[in-house]
Amino acid sequence: MSENRVLVPFKENGHAHQRCMESALTVAEQTCRARGVRLTNIRRRVLELVWRSHEPVKAYDILARLQDEHSGSAPPTVYRALDFLQTEGMVHKIESLNAYVGCGDPNHMHIGQFLICRDCGAVAEMDDDDVRILLAEKAGNLGFQIDREVIEIKGLCAVCATEKR
Amino acid sequence: MSENRVLVPFKENGHAHQRCMESALTVAEQTCRARGVRLTNIRRRVLELVWRSHEPVKAYDILARLQDEHSGSAPPTVYRALDFLQTEGMVHKIESLNAYVGCGDPNHMHIGQFLICRDCGAVAEMDDDDVRILLAEKAGNLGFQIDREVIEIKGLCAVCATEKR
DNA sequence: AATGATATGTTATAATGTAACAATTTACAG
DNA sequence: CTGTAAATTGTTACATTATAACATATCATT
Ligand SMILES: [Zn+2]
Ligand SMILES: [Zn+2]
Ligand SMILES: [Zn+2]
Ligand SMILES: [Zn+2]
């Protein structure tokens, strides 16, 4: 049985993003409580800042905002929080952009396949078993055992493709 | 009809790497001549340094070697050469490592799927149409049109898996 | 040889990320 | 409670990766 879940859809026109964010924050809180780890103020705030949009957010942009709120913030403040959030599955790093996106599904530990729109910058996350299975097979043909996959796909999202028409 | 070409195999025990490198350099020279672009001394030397092994090479490691040979070298020297080599398809960047690997097939323009061994650091490049087709299909289901793919797979290569046994 | 295009030299700086250690806060056992 | 260890945050410094901007040199063509 295979699965093709879309974890973070592209923003539809006028989608209520406030809800995306609130939902993600709520899930994060529940997840942390269940795991006995602490979603401290800093971590929570960084997660909020990552979720401000569906575009990948840069560490130093997060830092700039933190510094507006609390001058004691420094690079380690942000990177530590991001490390925590990645470990707990609430944030993924987009390697090809040196930027971070929120994940709405921290309970099912995974790293998905990212679709990144060259026009609007929005990112969608798929978590597709067919892709995973095919790659495992192809790698296996070379005797390679997969630990982790970085799959970042650049292109044009549906909304932007429509607008171009 | 689909294709699963292995462009850069994992190094077999005692494989004659000198030949990998010479072959890549020869192809590069021919390709540049055919395209009317110039494989200058710097570019050629950077390509050689990328091909010193099958492990991804860092820009500043290349720079250090260039500086041994010519003190006038600076970061732009390396990054310009790498840009040229990437544009001409002779080098690929591994985004998740900020490092560069040689490609032996600059004529068939592509960016492949990389298998990166966590143990020996070697990288193999696949260029697999099945993977490309499946990803295009899955992305297409979301209305997404693919321009470019970054696929970097971490794991254990066949040689290292055998040694572990 | 003159010319424009390409490539390289040079300096400075931007952007991204980490090491190391001190201070503070939290959890919790006694 | 209160002392203690662990976890978190503060702070400073630095390492790594990459680019901007402009000067100089080289190459290709006339
Ligand atoms: Zn949203
Ligand atoms: Zn995810
Ligand atoms: Zn070789
Ligand atoms: Zn290649």
Instruction: Give the tens place of pLDDT for each residue, B96-138.
Output: 999 999 998 999 999 999 999 999 999 999 999 999 999 999 9
Mean pLDDT calculated for residue range B56-78: 97
Helix (H) or strand (E) holding A91: strand A91-94
Q: Which of residues 93-122 of B touch A (CB under 8 A)?
A: 95-96, 113, 115, 117-118
The count of structural domains within chain A is: 1
Does residue B60 belong to the interface with chain A, where contact is any CB pair within 8 Å? no
Nucleic strand C near CB of residue B43 (< 7 Å): yes
Burial of B161 (0-12, 13-18, 19+ CB in 10 A): middle
Closest CA to A152 of A97, A102, A106: A97
CB A121 within 8 A of CB B129: no
Asked if residues B25 and B136 have their Cβ atoms less than 8 Å apart, the reply is: no
Mean pLDDT, residues B44-50? 98
Please compute the mean of the pLDDT values over residues A101-124 and round it to a whole number: 94
Provide the mean pLDDT of chain B: 93
pLDDT tier, B1 (very low <50, low <70, confident <90, very high otherwise): very low
Q: Which of A11-20, A32-41, B47-56, B85-94 has the lowest mean pLDDT?
A: A11-20
Domain residues for B65? 4-164
Whichever domain contains A71, its CATH number is 1.10.10.10
Number of Cβ pairs < 8 A linking chain A and chain B: 133
Question: What's residue B163's pLDDT?
Answer: 85
Burial of A14 (0-12, 13-18, 19+ CB in 10 A): exposed
